[in-house]
Chains A and B, each alone.
Chain A
């Protein structure tokens, strides 16, 4: 097991419009990319974010060695219970996530 912060060289998270958050995981080389790609599955993401899998989209961008995770916000940007308008702190949640 290793944490995603060890397997990536950058994780960034940002709002993509008021209704989605998108997280980009940048990997240094093919070996790390393959490990992140195989380990960071849809169920793993959904468990980490505590949201249903059908609200998550996952993309593999091989040429950039990037895994992209986009999910529908539980609370829309700036709504009463929203805690992070720009959604950037989700990156730190993923950084500590352990995968095989």
Chain B
């Protein structure tokens, strides 16, 4: 009988925080590996577009220090995926530098594996011409224009590149973009644990203690064997129950039963969730189905302009009551002025007025008729350059402050909360791909580099 594989997941993402006591509890279970995620697309296209991290480097370094010490004390590998939030090569390099810095500080000698996941635009174009790129539903259109504006393309690694690093004896494994689940499923699958259970355990544990009664406690422990897996939260005040565990399969998943992964899909339709005691849940019956072709998911962000925003607050009751008329007039006058004063006739700028306190979030779907005493007016200007976005915002600024509802009334003054009322937001990005790419071999395009420091 193959021995079970024990995986400790400190939290849903590095930088989010976890209970140190719970980490110690987890280490007492003698895990075979520590796996943690470093990011996702959850915070939007900006991070991938710019290739930067969302979380504070300082906070990440403090947490990584604790995990490197834990790895060293227990002589087990430590793996992180989606380095630097978005998984670009610079994110892997950032984590590599951090790992070297901490290893030196702690006096550890460490074998560090780096797995890069970024794809050159030229590689993508070749794959496109070879018909190896397929859209998922719904996918943004790929055009010459969108391709030229893409700043970064990453592909989500499956378990194979990570397994290669584990087999090479790496102590710390830094993966660019990887599926959240691959980081956790890699070792049990390498140990010939049940395939469905390995992937399902990974999905349940990928957000840390989100699958328990106390999501913010972070640390989760899963043990995968030949027939299923057992999950337990490590914080004393966090319990895994059949309901909390099963419900996590729904979280951020469009399909509650099927999870697409590189090389196949997980089907949990027949999974059973049984309480072993008040803290632990046993899961069996999940199925893995291998696919004929090996595909990885691609993510990309494209530069879609530059933004400047303005914000004011309207408190005068008559203006609050007639806010739609006021916005309509404001929009009309500003657009006319912009047309008169702007020389760039090819400009693709847009101005979006959102009334906070009325329907800024739900827009046309808003059902509430209740009127707030004051309303915020958020103006979002998007243009082809920062200069153009700033110019348009500067033109809007005096009207936003002083535009009267009708001609025969005194000039009003709305409430600017700060100076200047316009804020330059810099580059604006949009997601540009929801596609999969067929690979000949699972490790194609995921170069592995190993260093000993």
Chain A positions within 8 Å of B, measured between CB atoms, are 14-20, 22, 24, 26, 48-50, 55, 57, 59, 61, 63-64, 66, 68, 70, 72-73, 76-81, 83-86, 89, 92-93, 96
In contact, B246 and A64 (Cβ under 8 angstroms): yes
Contacts of B139 in A (CB 8 A): 19
Known: A64-B247, A66-B247, A78-B45. A93 touches B253 (CB 8 A): no
Complex Cα–Cα for A78 and B140 (A): 13
8 new A-B contacts at CB < 8 Å, known A50-B365, A83-B363, A86-B42: A15-B42, A20-B254, A76-B140, A77-B44, A80-B305, A80-B352, A85-B44, A96-B367
Contact of B255 among A14, A48, A59 (CB under 8 A): A59
Residues of A within 8 A of B361 (CB): 83-84, 89
How many chain-B residues does the 8 Å CB contact rule pick out?
40
Nearest 9 CB-CB pairings of A with B:
A78-B44, A70-B254, A16-B254, A20-B254, A18-B431, A78-B45, A79-B430, A89-B361, A72-B138
Complex Cα gap A89–B360 (Å)? 11
Are A83 and B431 CB-contacts (below 8 A) given A17-B41, A22-B253, A64-B243? no
B431–A93 touching, CB < 8 Å:
no
* B64 contacts partner chain A, Cβ-Cβ < 8 Å: no
17 A-B contact pairs sorted by A residue (CB < 8 Å): A16-B254, A24-B250, A24-B251, A57-B255, A61-B250, A63-B246, A64-B243, A66-B250, A66-B256, A78-B429, A79-B45, A79-B431, A80-B305, A83-B354, A83-B362, A85-B43, A92-B362
Residue of B nearest to A68 (CB): B256
- Whether B137 is near chain A, meaning CB under 8 Å from some CB there, is yes
A55: nearest chain-B partner, CB-CB: B138
Chain B contacts of A63 at CB under 8 A?
246
B252 to chain A, nearest CB (A): 5
Contact among A14, A80, A84 with B252 in the assembled complex (CB-CB below 8 Å):
A14
Residue B382 interfacial (CB < 8 Å): yes
Q: Which residues of B contact A57 (CB under 8 A)?
A: 254-255
Q: State whether the Cβ of B288 lies closer than 8 Å to any Cβ in chain A.
A: no
Q: Are B382 and A80 in contact (CB under 8 A)?
A: yes
Name, among A18, A86, A92, the residue most crowded by chain B CB atoms within 10 Å (CB to CB).
A18
Interface string of B314-357 (1 = CB under 8 A from A): 00000000000000000000000000000000000010101000
